[in-house]
A and B are shown apart, each in its own frame.
Chain A
Amino acid sequence: MGQKVQPRVQRGASPVTRQQPGRVRRGLGRAAVPACLAGTIVLAGGTGIAAAARAKTKSSTPTFAQACGTKAVTLTGDFETGFPDIVDLTKLFSKQYPKVHWKINTNAYAEITTNAPLVLAGKNAPDLVRLPILEGLVKDHLLLSLNKYYNEYHWNTFPSSVWAQNRTNGTQLNTGNIYAWGLNNQVTGIYYNKALAKKIGMKGAPKTLAQLEALFAKAKKAGLTPIETWNAVPTGLTFPLQQLMADYGSVTAINNWSYDKPGATIDTPANVRAASVLDSWIKAGYFNSDATAQSYSGAMSEWTASGSKDVFLFNGNWQAGSFDSSQPGKYGFFAMPPVKAGGPVAAIIGPLQYGIAAKAPNPSCTAYFLNWVSTNPAARKLNVEQGGAPPIGPTKLSVPSAKPGTNTEESIQVGVAVAKDNQGMGFITNANGSIYTESETPELQSLFAGQTSPSAVMSSIQSAYKSEGS
C-alpha cells in the first residue's frame, strides 16, 4: 500500500461526538520540565500488565516503500530542546532513506506542555511529537492510536511492561489503546560533582539515606550548595520527594496511586514522613535558595557553570548523554540509597515518550521511523551514545554497551539494580493529566517557601487527585 494521508479533520464543528464531564481545572500548565519520565514501567517483569492489543494475525512488517511511498516525503517533528539524540536519529534515518526529509521544531518542555494541544489541533499538526502528559491529549482526540503499528511491526516483542504507561483511556494509564512509543528508558538517581564531593570527603556512593544526609550537611558546612534544583516549573522537588516516599513506603503503593487504582491514596503516614524529611532539607538550606525562580534549564546552567558550587543533583539519565559529551568525567551518578544498608534500591523509571498527531500528514512513514529507531543497530547505538539511555526494542536484541565510567554507563547500572530489586516506580506527576501543574508543583513551591506543612502537602495533593479522577 502506498502512503496513507489522513484527511484533515476540520475543527470546531467536530465529527466526534462524545460527552465530556465539565471540570474546572485550576492552576494550569505552569510549564514543566524535561521530566521525561512520562510514566512508569518496571524494567523486568513487575507490575506491568501485559499488553492488551495483541498481534492476532501474523502479518509481514511493512516495507519502507509501503510505509513511506516512493516519492520524497517531509516528516515534521516537534521535539524538546536539549535532546539532540532524537534529532541525530532523524538525520541518520534520512541518510539511510534519502527520500525522507525532516522539518524539526524544538521547544522547552514547559512550552511543549502548554502548547501541545494548540499545536496538535492546528492546521500544521506535526507527524511526531515529544509528548507531555498523555491523558488530556488522548481525551481530546489529538493523538493517533498506535495499536495498528503495534500489530504491524510486532511491537509485542518489546518487554511487555514497556507498554503499560504508553496506553491510556484518557483518564487512566495502563488501560486502553496505545498512544505513545518510548525512545529509550529513563531512570532517575543522583548526580554528584566529583571534585566537590571529594572535597567534602565522599568516598563512593552513600549506602544509606543517613550517609547521604551527612554529606548534605558537610557540603552545607563547607559553604557549598548541597542540592541544585528547579522549582519554578514542575518536577524539581518531585524527584527527591518520590525517592524519599519509596525509601519510607512501598513502591507498590506508589504505583497503585500513579496508575489510578481505585482507593489509592498518597496521604499516608509514610509519605507524610517523606515530605517531612524533604521539608527538613529545605529548612536546613540544602537547596539552592533561588530554586523557586529557577527553570529546569536555568538550574542545569547553574549546575554545569564553571565555578559552580553545586554538589548533588536529583535528576535522570536523560542528562547523562549531554554531561558525558560536554563535561566528560566531571560528574558521577548513583541510585538513591535506601534507609537501611543493603535494602532495595528504587527509582522512577519510564519510557521517553513520543507520539503521532491524530492529524499527522504522514503517520505510516513516521511509524516506520519509530520501528527503525527501536530495531536498527546503528540507531540503537546512537541512542545509547547520544541519549545516554538504553533503547527500547525487541527483547532479543542486545543492548549496546556504553563507555565505562560514563554517566550513561552508571545510569544503566542503576536501571539494572532497580530492575533486579523490582523497585521501578511510575512518576507521581503522571498520575493524571494535570495533577502536577495544578497541585504538586504549587504545593511544593509553597512547602519551599514555608507556607505549608508536609502533611498539608500530601492531603491537598490527594484531594486534587480525587477531584481530578472523578
Chain B
Amino acid sequence: MLNSATTSRRPLGAGSTLGGLRTLVRADRARGWLFLLPALAAYGMFVLWPLANSVKYSFYNWDGINPAKWVGLSNYGQVFTNATLYSAIEHSGILIIFFSFLPTALGLALAAFMRSAIAGRLGTVARVVIFLPQVVALVAAGIAWSWLLGYNGAINQIFYAPIDAVLKLLGLGAAKQAWLGSFQFALPGVGLIGVWVMLGFCTVLLTVGMGKIDPSLYEASQLDGAGPVREFFDITLPSLRQEIGVCLTVTMIAALSAFDIVYISTQGGPANQTMVPGLEIYLLAFTNREVGLASALAIVLVVLVVVCIVPIQWYVNRGNES
C-alpha cells in the first residue's frame, strides 16, 4: 500500500526561480494527495465504511445469517422503549460522573495542592507512577479491581472503618460486602475503577497546565490581597480552560464507550445494574444475533458521544478565540 503511491520522482527543471517555485508549490498541493491516500484508504476502509454500514444495519431486522428485513426506525424505537437498553444508556450517564467529573475535580484539587511537590525529585517518580493506569490494559485493571472489591478484597480490609462509618451514617447496610455484587454499589464500583484509570492522567495534565500559567498573574493578585482560594477561582481555573476541556473530553469518551472493565468485572450484573451500551451492543450483536437492534444502539452511542463532546469543545474554543 505504501510502495510507489507517490510518483513525483521526475527530476525538476533547473529553473528554480521564485515563479517556478510557486507553480511547484501548487503542484505539490495536488500531488500531496498521493501522500494522503494510504492513510485515507485505511481510515475509509476500516472506520468510515463500517460506520456507514452500522447506519445501514440499524434499519434492518437481521440475525447476521438469513436475509435482512427492512424495518425502518423501529430498532431505534426499541432502543428508547426497551427498559434494559434504555437503562444501559442511563448507566453510562452515571459513569460519566465517575470517569469524568470526579477525576477532573479531584485532579484539579490535587494539582493545586501538589504543584510544588510534583516539581521535586519525588514528583518525577510520582508522575511515572500515577500515569501507569494509562499503560495498563483495562482488562487487567478489571481483573485486579474485581479482586480488590471482593468480599475478601483489600478495599474491605484497608478501608473498613471509614466505609463502615459513612454507611452507618447514611443507613446503607453492611460495610463489609462484595461491592460488585451489590445492587446499590456495583455501578459505583465500576465507576471507582474508572476513577482509578483516569485520575492520574487528569492530575498530570492539569499540573502541567498550571505550570504554564504566568506567575506574574499570581503576584499581581497577591498584591491585591487575594487569598489562595480566590486565586484558584480567579486565575488558575480560567487559565486551565483548555486542559479541563481535554480532561472532560477524553474521559467522557471513555465513560460512554466503557466495555473492557464491565465485561471483565461484572458482565453487566447484578440484574443489569451495570449494563452499559458497549456491552449491550456486543451481546445483542454476537450472542443474541440481533444485528439490527445492536447497530441502532451503536449509532445512538456514536451520536451520544458527539452530543456530549461538542458543547465542551465549543466552550474550550470560545475561550481560545476571546
Contact of A290 among B63, B151, B286 (CB under 8 A): B151
A26 touches B85 (CB 8 A): yes
Per DSSP, chain A at the interface is: loop
B84 touches A289 (CB 8 A): no
How close is B289's CB to chain A, nearest CB, in angstroms?
Answer: 6
> Does A425 belong to the interface (CB within 8 Å)?
no
**A316-359 interface (Cβ within 8 A of B):** none
Contact of B183 among A28, A232, A451 (CB under 8 A): A451
| Bound complex: CA A291 to CA B181 (Å) | 7
> Does A293 belong to the interface (CB within 8 Å)?
yes
- B63 neighbours in A (Cβ, 8 Å): 20, 140
How close is A432's CB to chain B, nearest CB, in angstroms?
Answer: 13
B267 touches A446 (CB 8 A): no
Contact of A11 among B64, B177, B290 (CB under 8 A): B64
A16 touches B271 (CB 8 A): no
| Bound complex: CA A292 to CA B151 (Å) | 11
> Does A58 belong to the interface (CB within 8 Å)?
no
How close is B37's CB to chain A, nearest CB, in angstroms?
Answer: 28
Closest to B183 in A: A449
| Bound complex: CA A149 to CA B197 (Å) | 53
| Bound complex: CA A231 to CA B182 (Å) | 11
- B85 neighbours in A (Cβ, 8 Å): 26
- Among B65, B67, B174, B269, find the residue whose CB has the most chain A CB atoms closer than 10 A: B65
B271 touches A446 (CB 8 A): yes
A26 touches B67 (CB 8 A): no
Interface size on B, residues (CB 8 A): 42
B181 touches A294 (CB 8 A): yes
How close is A270's CB to chain B, nearest CB, in angstroms?
Answer: 25
B287 touches A114 (CB 8 A): yes
How close is A191's CB to chain B, nearest CB, in angstroms?
Answer: 21
> Does A29 belong to the interface (CB within 8 Å)?
yes
A289 touches B82 (CB 8 A): no
| Bound complex: CA A27 to CA B293 (Å) | 14
Contact of A445 among B78, B269, B288, B289 (CB under 8 A): B269
| Bound complex: CA A22 to CA B292 (Å) | 10
Contact of B289 among A18, A117, A291 (CB under 8 A): A117
- B174 neighbours in A (Cβ, 8 Å): 289
Known: A26-B83, A30-B268. A14 touches B65 (CB 8 A): yes
A22 touches B287 (CB 8 A): no
Which residues of A approach B to under 8 Å, CB–CB? 11-14, 16-20, 22-31, 110, 113-115, 117-118, 121, 136, 140-141, 231-233, 288-294, 434, 441-443, 445-446, 448-449, 451
Interface contacts beyond A290-B177, A291-B178: sample of 11 additional A-B pairs, CB < 8 Å, sorted by A: A16-B65, A18-B66, A24-B293, A28-B268, A114-B286, A115-B286, A117-B287, A121-B64, A136-B289, A442-B272, A445-B271
The 9 closest A-B pairs by CB, nearest first: A293-B181, A290-B178, A293-B178, A292-B181, A290-B151, A442-B271, A26-B84, A28-B283, A445-B270
